Homo-oligomer: A and B are copies of this chain.
Amino acid sequence: MDAAGLRAEFPVFARVAYLNAGTCGPLPGAARLALDEVVDLAEVDGRRGAYYDRFFALRDRQREAYAGVLGAAPADVALTTSTSDGVARVVAGLGLAAGDEILTSDAEHPGVLGPLLAARERLGVTIRTAPLAELPDHVGERTRLIACSHVGWVTGDVAPRFDGDVPVLLDGAQGVGAIPLDMGALGCAFYAGSGQKWLCGPVGTGMLYVAPEHRERLAPVALSYVGYADAARGLDADAIHATAQRFDTPALSAETAAAALASLDLLAGFGWDAVHARARELAGQLAARLREAGRTVGPRGETTLVAWEDPEPDATSERLAAAGVAVRFLPNTPYLRASVGAWNDEDDLDRLLAAL
């Protein structure tokens, strides 16, 4: 499959220069077909027997596919509903208490800030912030967790390398599917990602990587039916899964698993290396062209996000939308953000620059 072939799998490009995967990826036709097939089964035969057999098989494949994209073992991957869901499970499950400190950056998404706020209000944990690039210099004696973006959601900058013993939780919402990942090399304890952004799956899908050496230190606060290896053994602590599956959310469904997998299979068919390389190349092109056009581009790494300053970002994003160009205005920042994926092409960039 070439780049044009990949692009043709996404109906949205028939009309829209869609550059908004940082919110939600474009949805391929294959995801729709896979979803339809499961809904057919649910509707006509009922959600029982064959439907659950299908679900369990899809869930296993979904976990394996996410593990592949993360560069991790499936046993270290929990299925969640979103990045925020994964972040919340980690922050709530570490047994933090008053006097403990969480270090975070000064440009985090509410999906990170919400659980931190909850930990502060509920447990008396201190939250300290610093610029993302400077975080390693701010780790203190009381820092029990570093929680920050892997790729910053505002401008696409990349977290620095953290050494030392303090566990790191990375918000991978703009990382997973967008850039090459290798959990072992990254060295984080926890990595939370989304299924609906750079993996082009449905809303309500996501994953949480838990490094094996941190698995026992993380309590499954929202343990549910799906976290049990043998649910009939109710209050028996040994009845829960030995793997990261104990952290699975109860919200998983055959419908979302089928749609998520169809998108993952499509991207894998194009090749993950090619997915990452093409997105990086196009995003780099866009950043360069914006600078040539006199725009101030926000600090970014070799990522898929390109943010530039605009005097009226809200109004401009609406004007662009009316011109069939989908980018995102980021409230309380001077930025407009384009999310560039392998499914985009030079024509999308031309349309964006022309409409600006």
Contacts and interface: CB of A to CB of B under 8 A. Distances in A.
Given A82-B251, A114-B225, A254-B203, A43 B29 contact: yes
A82 B224 contact: yes
Given A110-B234, A122-B95, A222 B117 contact: no
Interface string A120-146: 111000010000000000000000000
B253 A203 contact: yes
A222 B115 contact: yes
7 contacts: A12-B46, A85-B222, A93-B122, A109-B225, A114-B220, A114-B228, A117-B234
Q: This chain: how many copies in the complex?
A: 2
A1 interface: no
B46 A221 contact: no
Nearest to A89: B222
B12 A92 contact: no
Interface string A193-227: 00010000011100000000000000111111101
Contact of A44 (B14, B84, B250, B251): B14
A81 B81 contact: yes
Interface in A234-283: 234-237, 240, 249-256
| Chain A interface size range | 35 or more
Nearest to A49: B321
A24 interface: yes
Interface of A: 11-12, 14-16, 18, 20, 23-24, 26-27, 29, 32, 35, 39, 42-49, 81-82, 84-85, 88-89, 92-93, 95, 108-111, 113-118, 120-122, 127, 196, 202-204, 219-225, 227-228, 231-232, 234-237, 240, 249-256, 321, 326, 328, 331-332
A221 B122 contact: yes
Contacts of A255: 202-204
The 6 closest A-B pairs by CB, nearest first: A81-B251, A24-B47, A114-B223, A203-B253, A88-B222, A84-B224
